[in-house]
Amino acid sequence: MSVAAARDVGLLRRDDRHDKTRLAACDSTGMEAGHVSTYFTRRTGRKKRKFPKLWAVVAAASHVCLAMVPGTGPTPDDPQFHRVAADAHAREPFAALAADCGFDGEHHHEFLHGKLGVVGVIPPERGRPRTKSDNNRRAGFFRNFLHDHWPKQLYGQRWQVETFFSMLKRLLDSFLRATNWRSQHREMCLKCLTLNFMLIAAMT
């Protein structure tokens, strides 16, 4: 799907300056539970422990976080997908949501389309390895459709959520000062809220 086709079906506005106004992007990232870096932990052979993790949906046009869910890792990405997507859509309705293949699944597309009226832009690459004979087949209507009509330009906006995480860690640090899980979850929420205020202040 090209940008022009996306405008025709209402995913994007006609005005070129607003190409991203109805797009959102979702992803998750891990935070450090202290000042010890992942590199140091790997070099010293220490066991990998649980770490604070957050899921976020951001508006592609502004990088403002529409919703976030704190949790712990290592865990798969998709268990919190429905919750964070629904929370974000309730605050600021969007027409399409881009996410990486960690959120792939026909049931996710059915939720986005059926419950939120949103188009999921997620690579249909999850699952068992495919042979040459079934390389063009994907389980489910939505996943097959995306495989046949992949919206490359729209999916490129997924990097907006990576930009949000980069700003979050660069400007507000990637480590958390809190020492228990409840306080760490609260601190992650406060970091996202603080960055939102910074972004909004920069736009005004």
Question: Could you tell me the two tokens for 111?
Answer: 């939720």
**Where are the alpha helices (H) located in the chain, listed in sequence order?**
3-8, 38-44, 81-91, 106-111, 141-148, 152-155, 159-172, 181-203
20: left (phi over 0), alpha (psi -120 to 50) or beta: alpha
The stretch 156-180 carries a mean pLDDT of 93
136-151: pLDDT as tens digits: 667 788 998 898 889 8
Arithmetic mean of pLDDT over the chain: 84
pTM of the model: 0.81
Higher-confidence position of 192 and 45: 192
34-72: pLDDT as tens digits: 656 666 666 666 666 789 999 999 999 999 999 999 999
Does position 12 have pLDDT exceeding 60, yes or no? Answer: no
Distance CA(146)–CA(124), nearest Å, equals 7
Question: Could you tell me the two tokens for 73?
Answer: 């890792």
Would you state the pLDDT for residue 128? 54
The stretch 5-20 carries a mean pLDDT of 50
Q: Which fold has domain 3-203?
A: Nucleotidyltransferase; domain 5 (3.30.420)
Would you state the pLDDT for residue 33? 82
Residue 18 binned pLDDT confidence (cut-offs 50, 70, 90)? very low
Would you state the pLDDT for residue 38? 60
Residue 17 binned pLDDT confidence (cut-offs 50, 70, 90)? very low
Q: Which residue has the tokens 């932990």?
A: 41
Q: For the chain, give every domain's residue range.
A: 3-203
169-182: pLDDT as tens digits: 999 998 899 889 89
Distance CA(17)–CA(102), nearest Å, equals 30
Would you state the pLDDT for residue 39? 60
What pairs with residue 97 in β-bridges? 24, 120
Higher-confidence position of 32 and 164: 164
With contact defined as beta carbons under 8 Å apart, do 65 and 57 qualify?
yes
Would you state the pLDDT for residue 140? 85
